[in-house]
């Protein structure tokens, strides 16, 4: 049975020994980060801070803060109610196998229309706990235990919001997790990066010239599949809440907002309603980011609140990013496993892929392929750089199928042995992630592909390729028997 809401997930984590309650008052300014970071690095549990406070503001918040909910392989699996993420990947494969159109784009385009998804279309309901308290006049963000994460951060940031918008062109909904810097009690920043769904809707409004305000609703604290759907790089015409329904095998319940024309999860803990204004861009940041560096100040739209609805006793969900690995790495790992079947549909030669934590998603992607023709690795590089999401990959390493991409020591050993750098490294120019700080220009820079496959005579490599050193199996057997006796 799908988790109905955040609480059911928290209760499950507690039963599994995957969540620790902290009743000691802890400061939302930096202290929660430091504690969470230590727990993250030690592969520890989710944390429920029952008494967040702010010494600076002299506040003891009435609302508890939960963090690191998805911060391990086990909790990612619990979130999606599977024994291992491979199970979700298999469900994804089954979904894709129901119809077999040609090519990745057709597949992806088809996703929203698949009959198998139709039973998971969000259900609009009349009542829901998120309406237990409706605040249209006397509302303020100051009651929420919003963290200042790192010393040089430009302020406090809501870090795990589900930002909901509707396309002014097609009416299609989008949900994305974009951080929100608190400017005052009723205004925040809206950090949707240039390539993301929310930013596209904002541009569409500008192009159409029909009004200057884009309705935005923000849900904080939902069932874990719904929260996770906000970080998925889904195609533009696939509603994240529909996909969340597929992930949880039960439709998401939505309910109408009070002050804007949008629907939000009825089981959410807290919903912020408001709009982004084309004429109100403000400095946003700096913010200690996924990369382990601060992303610098830049201009983003302001989000003006028009109301807040919440449960009687809401729980605020936060996350903190920084030097990897942290909670976001495990979310990225979930995305990697879920999207591998989709990648394999388009590129059947792909055997496996992995994004190591140190590469912070876009900086390093390792792909193992079944190599069938000369130049095959280059073909795979070009294809991956043309895919949504994967297009940002800064360093792409293509290895043969016998390499375990999850073992970075094995990858480094084999790849470094296999390359003649001048011959095997391919540079490419194109769009880069907005968080990229080393590229020559914001959002535009170079990428590198490394062909670390064995080189073939048909690729001009006519020297003999040596075998890997492997012990004779008979000898291994004899030594197995000796091993116990020798006590080495
Ligand atoms: C913890 C966390 C914070 C994130 N913050 C941002 C952000 O501030 N801005 C942004 O554009 N993307 C951010 N992302 C990535 C987006 O959520 C992700 O790219 C998602 O696919 C966007 O959805 P969209 O494709 O519908 O726009 C964040 C991801 C995580 C896991
Ligand atoms: Mn989207």
Q: What is the model's pLDDT at position 257?
A: 98
Of the residues 239, 250, 289, 352, which is catalytic?
289
Residues enclosing ligand 1, CB less than 6 A? 159, 174, 176-179, 191-193, 196-198, 230-233, 319, 321, 328, 331
Catalytic status, residue 480: no
Residues of the chain with pLDDT under 50: none
Q: What is the model's pLDDT at position 97?
A: 79
Write the CB contacts of 332 (distance below 8 Å, at least 6 apart in sequence): 355, 361
3-class DSSP state of 100: coil
Nearest CA to ligand 1 atom 5: 178
Whole-number Å distance, alpha carbon 217 to ligand 2 midpoint, is 15
- Could you tell me what percentage of the chain is helix, strand and coil, using 3-state DSSP and rounding each to the nearest 5? 30, 25, 40
Nearest CA to ligand 1 atom 23: 176
Whole-number Å distance, alpha carbon 260 to ligand 2 midpoint, is 20
Write the CB contacts of 242 (distance below 8 Å, at least 6 apart in sequence): 112, 117, 120, 121, 122, 252
3-class DSSP state of 262: coil
Choose which residue among 112, 154, 178 to substitute to test ligand 1 binding: the one with the highest number of ligand atoms within 8 A of its C-beta: 178
Whole-number Å distance, alpha carbon 227 to ligand 2 midpoint, is 13
pLDDT, one tens digit per residue, over 292-338 is 999 999 999 999 999 999 999 999 999 999 999 999 999 999 999 99
Q: What is the model's pLDDT at position 103?
A: 59
């Amino acid at each position: 049975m799908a988790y109905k809401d955040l609480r059911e997930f928290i209760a499950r984590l507690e039963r599994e020994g995957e969540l620790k309650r902290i009743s000691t008052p802890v400061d939302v300014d930096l202290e929660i980060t430091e504690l969470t970071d230590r727990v993250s690095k030690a592969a520890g549990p989710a944390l429920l801070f029952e008494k967040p406070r702010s010494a600076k503001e002299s506040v003891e918040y009435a609302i508890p803060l939960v963090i690191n909910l998805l911060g391990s392989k086990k909790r990612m699996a619990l979130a999606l109610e599977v024994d291992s993420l491979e199970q979700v990947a298999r469900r994804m494969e089954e979904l894709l196998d129901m119809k077999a159109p040609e090519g990745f784009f057709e597949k992806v385009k088809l996703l929203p229309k698949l009959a198998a998804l139709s039973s998971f279309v969000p259900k609009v309901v009349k009542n829901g706990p998120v309406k237990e308290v409706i605040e249209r006049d006397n509302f303020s963000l100051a009651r929420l235990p919003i963290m200042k994460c790192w010393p040089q951060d430009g302020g406090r940031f809501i870090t795990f919001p589900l930002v909901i918008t509707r396309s002014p062109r097609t009416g299609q909904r989008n949900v994305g997790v974009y951080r929100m810097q608190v400017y005052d009690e009723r205004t925040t920043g809206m950090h949707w990066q240039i390539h993301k769904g929310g930013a596209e809707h904002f541009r569409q409004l500008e192009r159409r010239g029909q009004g200057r305000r884009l309705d935005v609703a923000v849900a904080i604290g939902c069932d874990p599949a719904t929260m996770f759907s906000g970080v998925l790089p889904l195609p533009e015409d696939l509603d994240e809440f529909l996909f969340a329904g597929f992930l949880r095998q039960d439709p998401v319940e939505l309910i109408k907002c009070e002050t804007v024309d949008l629907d939000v999860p009825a089981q959410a803990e807290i919903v912020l309603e408001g709009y982004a204004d084309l004429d109100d861009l403000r400095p946003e940041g700096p913010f200690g980011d996924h990369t382990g560096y601060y992303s610098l100040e830049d201009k983003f739209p302001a989000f003006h609140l028009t109301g807040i609805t919440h449960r009687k006793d809401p729980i605020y969900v936060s996350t903190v990013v920084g030097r990897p690995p942290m909670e976001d790495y495990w979310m990225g790992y979930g995305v990697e496993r879920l999207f591998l079947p989709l990648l394999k549909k388009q590129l059947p030669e792909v055997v496996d892929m992995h994004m190591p934590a140190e590469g912070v998603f876009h900086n390093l992607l390792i792909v193992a392929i079944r190599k069938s023709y000369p130049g095959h690795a280059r073909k795979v590089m070009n294809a991956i750089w043309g895919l949504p999401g994967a297009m940002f990959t800064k360093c792409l390493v293509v290895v043969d199928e016998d390499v375990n991409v999850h073992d970075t020591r094995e990858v480094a050993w084999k790849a470094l042995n296999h390359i003649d750098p001048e011959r095997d490294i391919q540079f490419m120019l194109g769009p880069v992630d907005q968080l990229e700080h080393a590229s020559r220009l914001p959002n535009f820079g170079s990428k590198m592909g490394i062909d670390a496959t064995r080189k073939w005579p048909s690729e001009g490599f006519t020297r003999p390729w040596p075998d890997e050193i492997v012990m004779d199996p008979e000898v291994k057997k004899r030594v197995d028997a000796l091993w116990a006796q020798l006590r080495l």
